[in-house]
Amino acid sequence: MTLFWIITAGMILAALALLAPTLLRKLPTRSDTTEQLNVAIARERLAELVKQREAGDLSDEEFTQARHDLELALAEDLGENTPGESPPAAGGGRWALPVATLLIVLTTVPVYLHIGAPELIDPQASIAQADSAHAQIASAHNESGEAPPIGELVKQLRARMEADPTNAEGWFLLGRTYMSLRQFTDAVSAFERVVELVPEELTPLLALADAMAMRDEGQISTRAVELLERARSIDPNSISALWLLGMAAADRGDMAQALEHWERAYPLLGERPEMQKELAGLIRRAGGEPPQTAADLPSIIRSAAVAARSTPPTTDAAPAAEGPAIVVEVALTPALMERVAETDTVFVLARAESGPPMPLAVARHQAGELPLRITLTDAMAMMPALKLSSFERVKVSAKVSKSGQPRTQPGDMVAGDRLVETGNPPDSVQLVIDRVVE
């Protein structure tokens, strides 16, 4: 312990030795070289702005505003020192050195004793705490040395559902999580529990049929067809049910039935051109021709084309854009499940490690889509000059916003930030929303 305080005193003396020459010397008077230096700096900054505008990082409006601000700053600097005037030399800081010595000692020692860890000065205590920390880290990691937060999350949620088997929302979340992990057999089991609890709900019926199709490598079983027919009895214009029923009919060789389902689903995809294009290919391969406009269809289908909306997807396709692409997997801890509504807003964003607070990329979803797997790219930038490729390292974060606003407020739920190198991102960044903002 004595050695620690000796080292502390030596560090304080070393800091004072660095400050002493500055505090004791007399300040030189200002000369015209200051004006020349300000002008030179302004010219260099103006050249940088011109390069940024030519490179497309700044628009003409942004360039004009930045140049105007630079001219105002230069005029202000030059106005402080009119020709023929020079500020008088300032006296030395002879009293500053002893005052600084006293303040440093009276400030640092009490502050350290209050918020520091003086108990770690004891070598035996340090060793004991280190052993405890290593034990906690070892228990939190798997044999490969990597912490699998989503894998651990699944285990916790499964245990929670076994203890509360009538929680339909929990079983549905578990099934969605299994789907994101491509554990389709487990997903089928979880969705079966949901259908048993709420047999007349549309979404669980479609989710179970989809999970069965994925488990069976694209084959639509008799059980899945029964589920889809039940879904159609609830919503005759369910896009997912019509699509899958058409695939089941095509597998049986009944192309007429397949075309009937697909042609009914086609106009309902008016706001999803990519999916509509894919369905058009299926219709043509089945020997049909997709309707050109909604007017070609019966009136009951035309009205459905305006009102129908399908279940939102659980993933984001990566926008076609050059530059870095950061894949982010977001999940919710089971402990917060009951505090989140399906309509709460989920924000996934990236900010510069050190730089402007404005996000470089933002994705917005609903909590009902969790767990999420999305890709952040330059195409999601809020400003052309602020994007992922402009920074070497970014902080990736996620949160559930109760207000629907991007600004974090009390009651929002957040995940810990992850630091990512944009030039060499990992295969995926896993974020678990597990903390409530007080």
Q: Please enumerate in sequence order all residues whose Cβ is within 8 A of that of 428, keeping only pairs 6 or more positions apart, or say none.
A: 327, 328, 329, 373
- Which candidate, 247, 175, 243, places its Cα nearest to that of 208? 175
Do residue 189 and residue 336 come from a single domain?
Answer: no
Neighbours of 165 (CB within 10 A): 12
Do residue 243 and residue 382 come from a single domain?
Answer: no
- Residues of the chain with pLDDT below 70 are 1-5, 19-20, 22-38, 74, 76-97, 109, 111-150, 291-322, 356, 382-385
Do residue 179 and residue 291 come from a single domain?
Answer: yes
Domain count, the chain: 3
Q: What's the CATH number where 411 sits? A: 2.60.40
Do residue 379 and residue 416 come from a single domain?
Answer: yes
Phi, psi for residue 284 in degrees, rounded to 5: -65, -40
Cis bond upstream, residue 371 (ω within 30): yes
Neighbours of 409 (CB within 10 A): 10
Do residue 160 and residue 291 come from a single domain?
Answer: yes
- Which candidate, 387, 385, 378, places its Cα nearest to that of 360? 387
CA 151, CA 60: separation in Å to the nearest integer? 50
pTM: 0.44
Do residue 258 and residue 190 come from a single domain?
Answer: yes
Looking at residue 140, its pLDDT comes to 47
**Is 87 a member of any domain?**
no
For residue 110, what are the CA distances in angstroms to 8, 11, 16, 107, 118? 13, 16, 19, 6, 11
**Is 51 a member of any domain?**
yes
Do residue 35 and residue 75 come from a single domain?
Answer: yes
Share of the chain above pLDDT 70, in %: 71
**Is 314 a member of any domain?**
no
Do residue 368 and residue 280 come from a single domain?
Answer: no
**Is 166 a member of any domain?**
yes
**Is 367 a member of any domain?**
yes
**Is 316 a member of any domain?**
no
Do residue 44 and residue 161 come from a single domain?
Answer: no
Do residue 254 and residue 330 come from a single domain?
Answer: no
Looking at residue 122, its pLDDT comes to 54
Q: What's the CATH number where 224 sits? A: 1.25.40.10
**Strand partners of residue 419:** 395
CA angle 287, 293, 295 (to 5 degrees): 110
**Is 139 a member of any domain?**
no
Query: Which residue, 246, 281, 307, sits at the end of a domain?
Result: 307
**Is 211 a member of any domain?**
yes
Query: Which residue, 307, 335, 366, sits at the end of a domain?
Result: 307
Domain span holding position 251: 149-307
Q: Please enumerate in sequence order all residues whose Cβ is within 8 A of that of 35, keeping only pairs 6 or more positions apart, or say none.
A: 77, 78, 81
Please check whether residue 23 is in contact with residue 92, taking contact to mean a CB–CB distance below 8 angstroms: yes
CA 327, CA 318: separation in Å to the nearest integer? 9
Q: For the purposes of burial, counting CB atoms within 10 Å of the CB of 365, is it exposed (0-12), middle (13-18) or buried (19 or more)?
A: buried
Looking at residue 295, its pLDDT comes to 38
Q: What's the mean pLDDT when you consider all of the chain?
A: 75
Do residue 343 and residue 402 come from a single domain?
Answer: yes
Do residue 155 and residue 301 come from a single domain?
Answer: yes
